[in-house]
Structure 1
Amino acid sequence: MVPMNDTSHAASDRADVLREHGLRATAGRVAALAYIDRHPHVTASDVYQGLRQELPSTSPQAVHNIVQDLHTRGLLRRTDLPDSSGAQYETRTGDNHHHVQCVVCGRVEDVDCVVGHSPCLTPSDDHGMRVFAADVTFRGICRTCEQDRADQPV
């Protein structure tokens, strides 16, 4: 399978990946994958806004359906972050990376697992469950926002 987070892939490669996952390679799905490859951590609304010119006949509901289908088939990772305007999607799947989020501007970046093997964390009590993933969101202030705050008069 072609890793989807390599932005050099052509539309035909994305179409092949969609078919490998049991989905028809529609223009909307191919365009959504390409857009999310280039803009990780976006909401369905962001994707819609980014594709409106390329696909003028698409609708917000169609894009919501597309990202849900891609997520269900494992082509997108969905993350629900605090203080976000909605679920965010990215094409980096199949690993157990985490995220860091600026509490001021909302910027989100990937954080690779820092120690051990996935899921990177061991719960104090797993309640009899086999744990296969751990979602961690580090929250802080990015340098740009911190500098902007320092530059503002008191």
Structure 2
Amino acid sequence: MSSTDHTAALRGAGLRVTAPRLATLAVVEAHPHSDAESIARSVRESLGTVSRQAVYDVLNALSDAELLRRVSVGGRSMQYELHRHDNHHHLVCRECGRLEDVPCAVGEAPCLTPHDDHGFDVEIADVVYRGLCSDCRAASAVSPAGHTAPATT
């Protein structure tokens, strides 16, 4: 997405176009699933003098306007990605924390239907798949002494 697209997105959401907002969108686009502190650091590197609190305020405003999506995967800090309105889900490695996008499981959004919807009109299903990524799985197959661990059946 170009800065022109970010400008149009901000205007379409009824937000003023500012350098911190444009820089934040660019950083999140370049580094999806970054936490607020990493985003703030990158925005400050890009713009120079902008406070951490200003970037946090921008993240909140862009999330509230649904230009960014907050991703919560448990005990870790909130992470951010561009909001694509595609109802995708996430895979998270329980060892290293790697976070990957994964399309909706099956069917149309929402892809999961609760057993009892308690009268809700369900619009979105947020799913986090947890497991061990391929790198961590490979690393755990090697013992500390550098010997390959016996295969389990």
Matched, 1:39 2:49: no
Q: Percent identity at matched positions?
A: 44
Matched, 1:57 2:49: yes
Matched, 1:75 2:62: no
Cα displacement (A) at 1:16: 2.0
> 1:69-91: per-residue Cα shift (whole Å, max 9, x none)?
0011110111211131x111100
Unaligned runs of 5+ in 1: 1-8
| AA partner of residue 31 (structure 1) | A
Normalising by structure 2, what TM-score?
0.89
Cα displacement (A) at 1:151: 2.3
Distance 2:122 2:5 in 1: 33
Out of 111, 115, 122, which is 1:124 matched to? 115
| AA partner of residue 121 (structure 1) | L
Out of 9, 30, 39, which is 1:17 matched to? 9
Distance 2:5 2:90 in 1: 28
The 5-angstrom pairing of residues 129-140 of structure 1 reads: 129-140=120-131
Which residue matches 1:114?
Answer: 105
Cα displacement (A) at 1:10: 2.7
Cα displacement (A) at 1:17: 1.6
In structure 2, relative to structure 1, the CA distance for the partners of 1:142 and 1:45 (3 Å cut) is: same
Cα displacement (A) at 1:38: 1.0
> 1:88-146: per-residue Cα shift (whole Å, max 9, x none)?
11004211111000011111001101211111011010001100011110001111112
